[in-house]
Structure 1
Amino acid sequence: MHSKHTEIFGILGFPLGHTLSPWIHNTLFQLSDYDAVYLVFENEGWKELGLKPLLDLGVKGVSVTIPFKEWAYTQAEKVCEASKAMLASNTLLLREGIEAVNTDGSGAIQSILQSNPELLNPKRSKNILVLGSGGSAKGILFSIAKELEGRNKNQSIHRKVHLLARNETAMSEIEQSLGNPSWLGRVTKEQVIQEKEEYDLIIHTTPIGMKGVGGEPILDSQFFTKKHTLFDIVYNPLETDLVKIAKQKKANIIPGYHMLLFQGIRQFELFTNTKVKPKWIKKVESILLHELKKRK
């Protein structure tokens, strides 16, 4: 039941017909007994409207999705490090002033750590391959940098991260925003195929494979072996062609919807100042999976 004390949160974007965020947040409010509701604020004109309608309504925080992440970043008085590096935010906290946070990268890191913490060990000799150079790649690379550098405290990082993308400018921007670290480099598709044994984690961040998006998978079945772990952040469909190819070769798979799950959990923690319990995560994951399966 909602009372006059019920706090309002929501998601801001366009279009939002398929958003799964309300399932995540409303389930967590229920499980944690937190008196709040999470609504869908779908509008094409947020840039013109500004945040005033939400502030007038007393909204305490919003998730922000495309195409408004860059705009959201410009609306805040206070911004987190990840937002600064990416010039984009997926979360606005509206309690005391406007604070912008980006939980996309941390959601990806959480997904990888849950699968196998060793995959982000800076002392490992194998390399990480990141496919794509858009906003998601930027956020994930920022969080990988924090993880590798944080776990290695001033020692040199053995683990290399290679970027395979077409957009030279975007790759340069990523390198600069991370301070041109020695562990980050670019590769061509030919190099990747030749040196496939050198990689253990492959992170696919492009929209290829997403429902309604055409294009051939960037890597084919010649590439994958059972020594690889593939994290394709596309979650609709649940299994992209790239995931199917990797699975046939017995590669390890990190489900794409885990990123959605963990970035949402981090948002909930920021919204409510409540720590999520492991059993809640299991519950939310099963609801999310159920919803995604219905959309086939």
Structure 2
Amino acid sequence: MYSKQTEIFGILGYPLGHTLSPWIHNTLFQLAEYDAVYLVFENEHWKEVGLKPLRDIGVKGVSVTIPFKEWAYTQAEKVCETSKTMASSNTLLFRNGIEAVNTDGMGAIQSILQKNEDLLNPMIHKKILVLGSGGSAKGILFSIAKELERSGSKDSIKRKVQILARNKDAISEIEQSLGNPYWLERTSKEEVTKNSGDYDLILHTTPVGMKGIGGDPILDSYFFTKKHTLFDIVYNPLETDLVKEAKKKKAEIIPGFHMLLYQGIKQFELFTQSKVKQKWIQKVESILLRELKKRK
């Protein structure tokens, strides 16, 4: 039941037939007994249409997905530090003006910490391997930097983070945006293969493995061991070829949809200015898993 007091939120993007965000937010609204609804605002021409029609009907905030994250950032009067660094935002809040926030990296960090806090412990002599240098990699690396530097002084970080990607210009952009920290390095497939035991966390951020997108896994099947944790942010299909190969070698797996889950939870908290309870998270996770299994 909706009333004049019901707050309106939604997701802005194109195409949106695949989106799982309404399952996250409407479930949380229901569990929190918060009078709101989350709708799908699908339009190929948001750049031309602008945000005024949404604000005119009283929309309080939106999630933003491809291909409008960079455009969304330019529409805001106030931006978070992550958005400013990435020049990209996945959340817009319509309160006093327009505020842009990016929760993508936060979602990745929370997914990792839920699995094993040591994977982001700056005092452990291990390496994180990031596969890819696109927008997702940039957002995640920004949040990793914040986590490492929050947990230890900038000059005492023992953990190294390495990027394996083809686009050298994109790597340079990431390095510069993070201030060229000494703990961030480039690497090659040959070096990664040779020193596979140096890593405890592997983050795959490219579209390879996503339904409808071809390409071979970046790492060979013999790379993985039971001492590795793989976080492939692709969640459709539930298990990419990379994940399947890692599982064969008994590596730990962080499900890709956890990033979607936790970035959505952070958005909900921004929308409602309230905290999510742990039991709600478990409920939403089970719903997302059910819906993803239907899409096999």
2-side partners of 1:118 and 1:191: how far apart?
Answer: 24
2-side partners of 1:11 and 1:165: how far apart?
Answer: 30
2-side partners of 1:222 and 1:14: how far apart?
Answer: 38
For residues 96-132 of structure 1, give each alpha carbon's deviation from its aligned partner in whole angstroms, at most 9, with x where no partner exists.
Answer: 1100000000000000000000100001101000000
Q: What's the TM-score once normalised by structure 2's chain length?
A: 0.99
Q: Which residue of 2 aligns with 1:58?
A: 58
Matches within 5 A, 1:256-295: 256-295=256-295
2-side partners of 1:240 and 1:154: how far apart?
Answer: 35
Matches within 5 A, 1:197-276: 197-276=197-276
2-side partners of 1:94 and 1:79: how far apart?
Answer: 12
1-side partners of 2:141 and 2:235: how far apart?
Answer: 19
Q: Which residue of 1 aligns with 2:132?
A: 132
2-side partners of 1:155 and 1:167: how far apart?
Answer: 28
Q: Which residue of 1 aligns with 2:98?
A: 98
Shift of 1:23: 0.2
2-side partners of 1:135 and 1:156: how far apart?
Answer: 28
2-side partners of 1:140 and 1:15: how far apart?
Answer: 24
Matches within 5 A, 1:160-179: 160-179=160-179
Q: What's the TM-score once normalised by structure 1's chain length?
A: 0.99
Q: Which residue of 2 aligns with 1:12?
A: 12
Q: Which residue of 1 aligns with 2:70?
A: 70
Shift of 1:227: 0.3
1-side partners of 2:238 and 2:168: how far apart?
Answer: 30
Letter matched to residue 122 of structure 1: P
Partner secondary structure for residue 201 of structure 1: strand
Matching of residue 187 in structure 1 with residue 187 in structure 2: yes
Q: Which residue of 2 aligns with 1:27?
A: 27
1-side partners of 2:59 and 2:207: how far apart?
Answer: 31
Shift of 1:224: 0.3
Partner secondary structure for residue 285 of structure 1: helix
Partner secondary structure for residue 158 of structure 2: coil
Aligned length: 296
Where in structure 1 do 4 or more consecutive aligned residues deviate above 6 Å? Answer: none
Shift of 1:154: 4.2
For residues 219-269 of structure 1, give each alpha carbon's deviation from its aligned partner in whole angstroms, at most 9, with x where no partner exists.
Answer: 011100000000000000000000000000000000000000000000000
Percent sequence identity is 79
Partner secondary structure for residue 185 of structure 1: strand
Partner secondary structure for residue 222 of structure 1: helix
Partner secondary structure for residue 98 of structure 1: strand
Shift of 1:173: 0.5
Q: Which residue of 1 aligns with 2:151?
A: 151
Partner secondary structure for residue 122 of structure 2: coil
RMSD across aligned C-alpha pairs, in angstroms? 0.5
2-side partners of 1:172 and 1:295: how far apart?
Answer: 37
2-side partners of 1:287 and 1:162: how far apart?
Answer: 34
2-side partners of 1:33 and 1:274: how far apart?
Answer: 12
Matches within 5 A, 1:118-129: 118-129=118-129
Partner secondary structure for residue 219 of structure 1: coil
